[in-house]
Every structure is written in C-alpha cells, then in structure tokens.
Amino acid sequence: MEKSKKKIAIVVSENSLDKAMMPMILATSGIALDAEVHVFFTFWGLELLKKNYKPKLKGIMKPFTGMMVKKMKEQNISSFEELRSQCIELGAKFYACSTSMAMMGIKEDDLIDGVQISGATKFLKIALNADTTLFI
C-alpha cells in the first residue's frame, strides 16, 4: 500500500532575492523528501512567478545585488531561475493569488507556465491538511 505523502504548504509574500531563494530551496528539498509541496505567492511574492523576473536585494542593500549574485555563483549555489524551473520540473505546485494579481496589474500571460491561479480559500484548504506551513 502506498504511504500517503507528507504535505508542505508555503506562503511567499515578498520578492527580494533572499526571500526568493528560500522558498525555491525549501520546495525542491521538500520534493526530494517525497513530500507534496504547495507554494502560494501573494502580494509582492507574486512577482517571483513573472517570466524573466530577477529578484534584487531590498532597500539600502539593493545596489549590492550584483555582488551577492556573483558570490552565490562562485559558491555554486543555483540561481533563482534555475531553482524555480527545478521546482516546476519536480512537480511543486505553484499558486498565484488572484486578488494580488488584480491589485498588482499582473496578467496570466506574465506568469511562467505551470502556475495555477487561485484564491486564499484553496490555499487554506491545502494548508489545513498540510503537515507543516511556512510563511516567507
């Protein structure tokens, strides 16, 4: 009999480089652990689902983004884009918050493939049945 999978639910509400990397690393690792991973992108987090989006450091750290990206590359840390496509390839479920889309003027065509547009209820239904829920 197949053991039912563990479920991880993650909410991402920001678009800075650090907060972009975290959910991608956690989602890929979660799937490697044979868990089902559901990530709900809301508010600024939604931008992380845009095609060709390059997250930057926030606030006064913003000018140091290039330096950080270079350092990550030197350390062989996969880029945001690589990790994001790994997530989709491995079967992480990505949800775009419909209300945030309207608010931020983001259209379905702006988003990468493999994203499901949904509301808060859908995500909460998943979260209620998840083994762990993280907020980033």
Site residues (CB under 8 A) for other proteins? 2-3, 6, 25, 28-29, 31-34, 75-78, 83, 86, 90
State the minimum distance, in angstroms, from the CB of residue 48 to other proteins: 17
Please choose, from the candidates 20, 65, 18, the residue with its C-alpha nearest in 3D space to the C-alpha of residue 41: 20
Secondary structure (3-state) at 44: helix
| Phi, psi dihedral angles at 73 (to 5 degrees) | -65, -45
Residues 6+ apart with CB under 8 A from 37: 8, 10, 26, 27, 30, 31, 87, 92, 93
| Smaller CB separation from other proteins, 91 or 119 | 91
Nearer residue to other proteins within complex by CB, 86 or 98:
86
CA atoms 49, 50, 56, 57: torsion sign: negative
The least distance separating other proteins from the CB of residue 44, rounded to whole angstroms, comes to 24
Nearer to other proteins, 21 or 96 (CB): 21
Nearest-approach distance from CB 13 to other proteins, in angstroms: 22
The minimum distance between CB 5 and other proteins, in angstroms, equals 9
Q: Where are the alpha helices (DSSP H) in the chain?
A: 17-32, 65-74, 80-90, 98-104, 120-128
Looking at the Cβ atoms of 17 and 101, the one nearer to other proteins is 17
Choose among 47, 3, 5: nearest CA to 23.
Answer: 47
Shortest Cβ 12–other proteins spacing (Å) = 17
Please identify, using beta-carbon distances, which residue of 29 and 116 lies nearer to other proteins. Answer: 29
